[in-house]
C-alpha cells in the first residue's frame, strides 16, 4: 500500500528541521550502502550517532506516535530511528530494494522492514529533480511532496531517487516493522478501519459499528505476528 500522510509537520516546523540539517556535518552516503547499492548511490547522510540525527529523529518518532493515519496504515510494532539524507549537484540513488532487516543502534534489536517511509523536508520548488520513484504491481509512481509531508510504501518495492539538478533536497527516511507482515492484509485492515471511522462519523448510533469493529480486531488477532 502506497499512502501519503499530509503535514506530519507544518511548513514552519519543516523549515526549522531543514535549517537544523543545513548546519549538520554530512558524509558520503555510500558508507552506509551495501556492495551492490554503492554503485548506484550518490548522496550524503548523517552518521547514525550524529547528535542532530538523534535529536530530530526523536521529534519525528514522537510525531508519528500522535498521527492516527500512520498508526492505522502501518500498525507499527517497531520503528527504526529515522535517518537523514541530502541530495545536491546531481546526487541520486538508482533502483534498489531496501535491506530486509536492520539492527537498532545501541540495543541490537532487529527490525523487519515491512514499510519504508520518506519524510520530505525541502519545498518542492526549491530543487529540480529528486523525485522518489516507486515501482509496484500497480505501476510506476513519481512522488515529490511538500515539505513536512510523508509517503509510506511497502519495503519490498523497487525504488529510486532521481538526480537533483538544482538546489538541495533534504529528507528523512526510516523503516517500520508492522504488527501485520503482509501488505495485502495491512491494506485490508486499513480500508476496514477507514470505513468504520466514516460510518461512526456519519451514523454514530449504527448497530453495525460494534460488529465491524469486532471483525477488525479478530482479523488483527488472526494476522498479527506478535
Is 96 within any annotated ligand binding site? yes
Is 206 within any annotated ligand binding site? no
- Distance, C-alpha 214 to centroid of its chain: 29
- What is the distance between the alpha carbons of residues 203 and 43, in angstroms, rounded to a whole number? 50
- What is the distance between the alpha carbons of residues 5 and 104, in angstroms, rounded to a whole number? 24
Q: Tell me the backbone φ, ψ of residue 105, rounded to 5 degrees.
A: -60, 135
- What is the distance between the alpha carbons of residues 128 and 176, in angstroms, rounded to a whole number? 29
Edge to edge, the sheet with strand 158-161 lists 41-42, 92-96, 158-161, 132-136, 139-143
- What is the distance between the alpha carbons of residues 38 and 93, in angstroms, rounded to a whole number? 9
Question: Residue ranges for the binding site for 2-oxoglutarate?
Answer: 169
Question: Residue ranges for the binding site?
Answer: 96, 98, 159, 169
Question: Residue ranges for the binding site for Fe cation?
Answer: 96, 98, 159
Amino acid at each position: 500500500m502506497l499512502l501519503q500522510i499530509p503535514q506530519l509537520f507544518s511548513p514552519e516546523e519543516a523549515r526549522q528541521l531543514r535549517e537544523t540539517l543545513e548546519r549538520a556535518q554530512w558524509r558520503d552516503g555510500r558508507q552506509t550502502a551495501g556492495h551492490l547499492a554503492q554503485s548506484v548511490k550518490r548522496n550524503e547522510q548523517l552518521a547514525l550517532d550524529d547528535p542532530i540525527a538523534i535529536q530530530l529523529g526523536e521529534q519525528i518518532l514522537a510525531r508519528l506516535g500522535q498521527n492516527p493515519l500512520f498508526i492505522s496504515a502501518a500498525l507499527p510494532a517497531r520503528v527504526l530511528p529515522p535517518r537523514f539524507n541530502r541530495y545536491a549537484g546531481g546526487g541520486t540513488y538508482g533502483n534498489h530494494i531496501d535491506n530486509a532487516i536492520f539492527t537498532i543502534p545501541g540495543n541490537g534489536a532487529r527490525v523487519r522492514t515491512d514499510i519504508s517511509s520518506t519524510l520530505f523536508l525541502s519545498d518542492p520548488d526549491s530543487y529540480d529533480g529528486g523525485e522518489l520513484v516507486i515501482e509496484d504491481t500497480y505501476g510506476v509512481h513519481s512522488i515529490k511532496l511538500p515539505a513536512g509531508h510523508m509517503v509510506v510504501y511497502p519495503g519490498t518495492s523497487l525504488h529510486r531517487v532521481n538526480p537533483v539538478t538544482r538546489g538541495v533536497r533534504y529528507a528523512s527516511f526510516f523503516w517500520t516493522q508492522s504488527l501485520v507482515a503482509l501488505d495485502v492484509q495491512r491494506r485490508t485492515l486499513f480500508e476496514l478501519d477507514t470505513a468504520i471511522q466514516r460510518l461512526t462519523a456519519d451514523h454514530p448510533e449504527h448497530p453495525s459499528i460494534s460488529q465491524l469493529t469486532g471483525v477488525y480486531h479478530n482479523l488483527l488477532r488472526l494476522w498479527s505476528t506478535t
